[in-house]
Structure 1
Amino acid sequence: MFELYLVLITCFLLPTCYLITNSLRYIYDQIKTINKIQKINNKTQLNNKKILSLIKIYINRKKWLDCITMLEASINQIPINKISAEYYNYIGLCYESANMYKIAQRYYLKAYNISPLEKNILKNLANIYKISGDIKNAKKINQRLILLNKNEYTSNY
């Protein structure tokens, strides 16, 4: 009977320990990334990869204002349109998560104007139109997304 008890407890504790270990490792990786970025002397020279990793940390921690501030400060320093469209998309995502849909829509439109063929931007823009109740524009964007997927599918074969 005692052995059965030990087996049951072990079966319960092993997955729990695994989940806790993965969570701790994820937090450790976040802290390590933040510490690497803090050691950089000239913060204006952060590359896109480090900025995006920091942004993803802020989003996972639901630090919307920190994320928006970081992106707004970085967006004018990036000369590449595709990267600035990605930044605008992340800003829109932060505002959408903070339930500020009109502002999110404005940033998604800025991202869309820079990069109209980016699927993530189209999905987010269609979603924000749907949330705002603008079904007509949501359908337009969804049709454009379907057409883009169809063209991509036919070009692969």
Structure 2
Amino acid sequence: MFEIYLILATCFLLPICYLITNNLIYIYHQLKSLKNIEETKNIIYVDNKYILYAANIYINRKKWLDCITILELYMKQIRISELTILVKYYNCIGLCYQCANIYKIATQYYLKAYNKAPLIRQNLKNLANIYKLSGDIESASELHQKLIRLNKHEDI
């Protein structure tokens, strides 16, 4: 009888141990990446992929202000040729404001991203979603129609 109890306890605890270990490894990699960014000799010129990774870490941890601060700081240093990075920054900042229930400012950032790259689906989805959350159903449906037309043109 004791052996059956041990087998059942092991079967129950093994998946829990696996999930905890995976989360600890994920947290370790996040902290290691943030430490690498902090140890950079010239903190002003950090690669954009590290900035976006750090922003995603802050978003996952629901640290909206930290994410907005880091992106606003490094947004000023983006060259004109790096338009896609700037659009990603705008979308991340808009997401932070959206999650903080500050829809007007989120709409402004999503509009900035949309104006820079109007044919990117993610920009259309984000803008339609924030219009829907704000209660502007008419603008949201217009953007959904644009998204449908964009998908139809791509399928051809």
TM-score tier by shorter-chain length is over 0.9
> Where does residue 114 of structure 2 map in the other structure?
112
> Where does residue 84 of structure 1 map in the other structure?
86
> Where does residue 143 of structure 1 map in the other structure?
145
**What letter matches 1:142 in structure 2?**
H
Normalising to structure 1: TM-score of the pair?
A: 0.95
TM-superposition CA deviations, 1:72-116 (whole Å, max 9, x none): 111111112221111111100000000100110011001100011
Query: Structure 2 CA distance, aligned partners of 1:36 and 1:44?
Result: 14
Q: Which runs of 5+ in 2 are unaligned?
A: none
CA-CA distance at 1:151 after TM superposition: 2.0
> Where does residue 95 of structure 1 map in the other structure?
97
> Where does residue 130 of structure 1 map in the other structure?
132
Normalising to structure 2: TM-score of the pair?
A: 0.96
1:1-157 to 2 correspondence within 5 Å? Answer: 1-79=1-79, 80-154=82-156
Query: Structure 1 CA distance, aligned partners of 2:123 and 2:15?
Result: 37
CA RMSD of aligned residues (A): 0.9
Q: Secondary structure at the match of 1:51?
A: helix
Query: Structure 2 CA distance, aligned partners of 1:120 and 1:28?
Result: 30
The more displaced of 141-150 and 11-20 is 141-150
Q: How many residues align?
A: 154
Q: Secondary structure at the match of 1:99?
A: coil
Query: Structure 2 CA distance, aligned partners of 1:149 and 1:75?
Result: 30
CA-CA distance at 1:44 after TM superposition: 1.4
Identical-pair percentage? 60
Query: Structure 2 CA distance, aligned partners of 1:45 and 1:82?
Result: 18
Query: Structure 1 CA distance, aligned partners of 2:56 and 2:154?
Result: 28
Query: Structure 2 CA distance, aligned partners of 1:152 and 1:44?
Result: 39
Q: Which runs of 5+ in 1 are unaligned?
A: none
